[in-house]
Structure 1
Amino acid sequence: MPSPSHVNSYYADSANDKVLRPKLTGEQRFDVCVIGAGFTGISTALSLAERGHKVVVLEGTRIGFGASGRNGGQIVNSFNRDIDYITAQYGDVIGEKMAAMAFSGQALIRQRVAKYSIDCDLKTGNIFAACNPKQFESLKAKKALWEAHGHEGLTLLSASSIQDHIGSERYAGGLLDIHGGHIQPLNLVLGQARAFESLGGVIYEDSKVIRIEQGKPAKVITENGSIVADTVVVAGNAYVFGLIPEVEKKAMPCGTQVIATEPLSKDLQKQLLPTDHCVEDGNYLLDYYRLSGDGRLIYGGGTTYGAREPEKIESIIGRKMLKTYPMLKDVKIDFAWTGNFLLTMMRMPQVGKIGDNLYYAQGYSGHGVTNSHLMGEILADAIEGDVSRYEVFASMPQYQFPGGRLLRVPYTAMGAAYYSLRDKLGI
């Protein structure tokens, strides 16, 4: 059989580490077995290895094969639901505790990039761009909310001043968060994987888990081997199927599409994004874009519910790109790909434990780059007995989508169409 490979993306093409790790064979014993070598799994494994635990990571395909190696590469603070919503929904105590964690993921990413000298094109700053006056008012409120919780480095941009950062006339204003940023995400997860291995950690690729036998210890079984471990962490997010069905039915895989242009001239790069910050707009079905380390425009957007593979990615996203930057009509698209993220009913991450020693984390709902890194530390803390942050997330209700598997996709798509229409009308 051929070796597993990443999708044909710009990230896979520019990956720093293309070495295939071995496949698991035979039976081995570890303290912790992590299932999934994306941001959540590798962050958890690295946090535990730094504390002296004997950890193995099992990956069904390749490190970063899923959302961690396909996303827009944007470091965006907070959660899908912001602190004001969380406080209103879950109360002041949980709101304050969540606020204390809302800006931690980006700090951990920067710390690891520096500590382990990870080459991932880390750049500073992200801009929330308002497509209409209503969205601009929301950004004013976001700035006040985040500053009230101690987050600094925010600058409100008027309709004219945002053009110092974005060479487009689409926007009614924006908010610059200098503590956001962007990265080559596959190289970030690969760099952390190498750091984990340097501490004695073990990664097996092409080792899809087919069954977990719970107990003390637990047994994790693949086609060609097994791991006996005191603790198991399931961190496959939108790319894990059938291992813990009672958890999987609480979230829905959704697809997003990304394109990457050919390398652009320095003059054109300056025309598009003079300050080299990444951008996401304020629409429900948002657009997001940035410049890569080698000067390509990476542009993403759109959502397909139920993780369907859309046809003609280039034309779907190309139209969006040209709406923002008409001057790119003759620019060649070198790469086009899609990837799945996991959406939850409440748009909040789902974290929990089954039995005494099987943990899971999933459902970052589009904010996975920062939140998955934070979750790795939280799970490592919980495994060591410090459940203070873990219990904040675990205490939140985890609802199933209405209608079960049959109706959750059309129900969610109907809701998205409604909010998309509101975006277009500016209401």
Structure 2
Amino acid sequence: MKTADPGAYGSSFLAATKVASAARARLSVELDVEVCVIGAGLAGLTVAREVARRGWSVVVLEAHSVAWNASGRNTGFVLPGYAASPKALVSRIGLDDARKLWGLSEAGAEYVRRTVQEERMPGVELAEGGWLHVTKTSDEASVQAEAELLGRLGAHVEFQSAERVREQLRSPLYFSGLHYPRGFSLHSLNYALGLAAAAERDGARIFEDSAALEIDPAGVRKRVTTKDARVRAHHVVLAGNIHLAELMPQFGNTLLPAHTYVIVTAPLGDALHEAVRFPGAVSDTDLADNHYCVVEGDRLMWSGRSTVWRGKPKDYVETLLGQIRRTFPQLRNVKAEYAWTGSIGNTVHRMPQIGEIRPGLWLLSGFGARGLSTTAIAGEIVARAIVDADKTWQTFSPFALVWSGGVYGRVAQQVAYWSNRVSELVVSRMAQRREERRLREMDADTTASVVAEPALPAEVPPPAEAGNGAAENPPAIAAEDAPEILLQPASVAPPAKAVRARKKKKAAASEAPPGGGA
């Protein structure tokens, strides 16, 4: 099994199947540009592409390699919505503004799909089929209520019953769910590499191994210093994750780190197709527990578990395999061939941080587990704001920067994760027991119905017609296989010997003299 190393892309499945991509040079000369983007992840690359397409000069500075962290290590789910629940959005900003935000998230997903198709990106493996979010509890009413709320937000979603879910996912743990037909999945690293190439074709310049060490945001021309050079720009865009804390702690400290773990199984053949019949992306919890999809036809990419301090991927392999086996007992022989981890940043309010911090200084961060669609729309609306003075980004203004609590915040987040996980397991097991009891009661009712129902008399085949010969003797039936048939007394034919005796007696009576007696 291959576990990810700390190199550019490690030894993940995504790295093993990535398209060819040449290393980019380190910045070594002074540059004057209109826009300087710090961070060559999905958000930064989208800003750079959109700014360059509008004819502006733009430079991207990346401390490591393009899509080095979360952008090139995630499972590639392109989903509508945000980490914050629809109910939380409506409660905080009202239905009308929540509708606008939801519409932006769906526009972000469409941006990704359109970009892949327009640029004809190699190796992206865009897989349609939607996103199926399933529950492990039998409370269908709450799932239907969420579907209704999502409908009011303008979401494209449909409720699916437990029976429908189990037709597609052959798991005893699952009940009802929500199907988002416009969701899809792709090869996240190849998408990021394709996005970088597209930005460069439009005129952007990307420098790797060029960490921004200092920013002077004062004045019209901001200055960004690297180890070997300096960039002057009218606009500076901070497009980063938890690593922003190294450059600007006041922004990085608004994020709670979360390290998630991913495995890709060895080929499973037909067994996988029998267990997972849904062609798209699947998740079964809002926490960073289980989400998965089929890759390369008969492998399963499975992500789960979350820690606030980075762990070793190999330490979580058996845990993730155990989750697969519990979810799909028919895959009990599953083995892992790849394992790796990636780091994301969550905000306290679970919404991305998008906006202008001060004139000419922009922030795109805190995308959490919905990075592909939200980074896309964030990059586009910030590019429009810079070039066209568009105000769409202000839709996110209710979600201001909030200090995450430092070390204490991390501890609180980990404890909350463990607590929620235990609660989910308890609720799930209770639901399973109720389901098992319901099935036993159904079996008992069926058995009682069969015993109570009166048996019908056997259907007697018609006798063979004269001249057609004797009918074939039917095969003997073993006693234990013979059906139990209740015969009505009137249908019992008299023995042949009794019939002959009655005929003989009748004939004798006809020969006796009238009047009878001797």
TM-score band (shorter)?
over 0.9
Hey, what does 1:181 align to over in structure 2?
Answer: 184
1:283–1:423 Cα contact (<8 Å) kept: no
Length-normalised TM-score, structure 1: 0.93
Paired letter, 2:249: P
Query: Which residue is 2:303 aligned to?
Result: 300
Q: Aligned partners of 2:166, 2:190: CA distance in 1, in Å?
A: 31
Partner of 1:231: 235
- Tell me whether 1:203 sits opposite 2:211 in the alignment: no
The 5 Å alignment of 1:5-404 reads 5-119=8-122, 120-124=124-128, 125-134=130-139, 136-152=140-156, 154-215=157-218, 216-265=220-269, 267-282=270-285, 284-309=287-312, 312-401=315-404, 404=405
Query: 1:406-425, aligned counterparts within 5 Å?
Result: 406-425=407-426
Deviations 1:376-395 (A, max 9, x none): 01111221243422112133
Structure 1 residue 329: deviation in Å?
3.4
Identical pairs, percent: 27
Deviation string, structure 1 residues 11-34 (Cα, Å, up to 9, x no partner)? 111111332111111211221111
The structure with the larger Rg is 2
Deviation larger for 186-195 or 325-334: 325-334
Task: Give the Cα separation in 2 of the matches to 1:208 and 1:270.
Answer: 45
SS at match of 2:302: strand
- Say if 1:100 and 1:5 are closer, same or farther in 2 by CA, change over 3 A: closer
Code of the residue aligned with 1:421 in structure 2: it is: V
- 8 Å Cα contact 2:98-2:153 kept in structure 1: no
Residue 300 of structure 1: how far off its partner (Å): 0.5
Secondary structure at the aligned position of 2:402 is classed as coil
The 1:170/1:130 distance shift into structure 2, 3 A limit, reads: same
Helix, strand or coil at the partner of 2:40: coil
Q: Distance in 2 between matches of 1:420 and 1:298?
A: 21
Output the CA distance in 2 between the equivalents of 1:349 and 1:369: 12
Distance 1:139 1:235, change over 3 A: same
Alignment coverage as a number of residue pairs: 420
Distance (Å, rounded) in 1 between the aligned partners of 2:101 and 2:401? 16
The structural deviation recorded for 1:100 is 2.9
| Paired residues of 1:255 and 1:309 also in contact (CA < 8 A) | no
Q: 1:96 to 1:274 in 2, by over 3 A?
A: closer
Measured in 2, the distance between the counterparts of 1:295 and 1:233 equals 41
Q: Which has the higher strand share?
A: 1
| Residue 128 of structure 1: how far off its partner (Å) | 0.2
Shift of 1:325: 2.3
RMSD value over aligned CA atoms? 2.0
Q: Residue 239 and residue 8 in structure 1: after superposition, are their counterparts in 2 closer, same or farther (change >3 A)?
A: farther
Cα shift at 1:93? 4.8
Letter in 1 for 2:163: S
Q: Distance in 2 between matches of 1:182 and 1:219?
A: 38
List per-residue Cα deviations over 1:184-236 (Å, max 9, x = no partner): 10011111111111111111111111111223211211112222211111112
Gaps of 5+ in 1: none
Distance in 1 separating the partners of 2:391 and 2:266: 47
Cα distance in 2 for residues equivalent to 1:304 and 1:390: 31
- Which range is displaced more, 181-190 or 298-307? 298-307
Distance 1:9 1:60 in 2: 20
Judge conservation of contact 1:283–1:420 (CA < 8 Å) in 2.
no
Structure with more relative contact order (C-alpha pairs < 8 Å, separation 6 or more): 1
Change (3 A) 1:94 1:50: same
**Structure 2: gaps of 5 or more residues:** 1-5, 429-518
Cα deviation for residue 370 of structure 1 reads 1.0
Letter in 1 for 2:153: H
Residue 424 of structure 1 deviates from its aligned partner by 1.5
Residues 225, 293 of structure 1: alpha-carbon distance in 2 compared, 3 angstrom cutoff: farther
CA distance in 2, matches of 1:299, 1:73: 11
In 1, the alpha carbon distance for the partners of 2:237 and 2:196 equals: 16
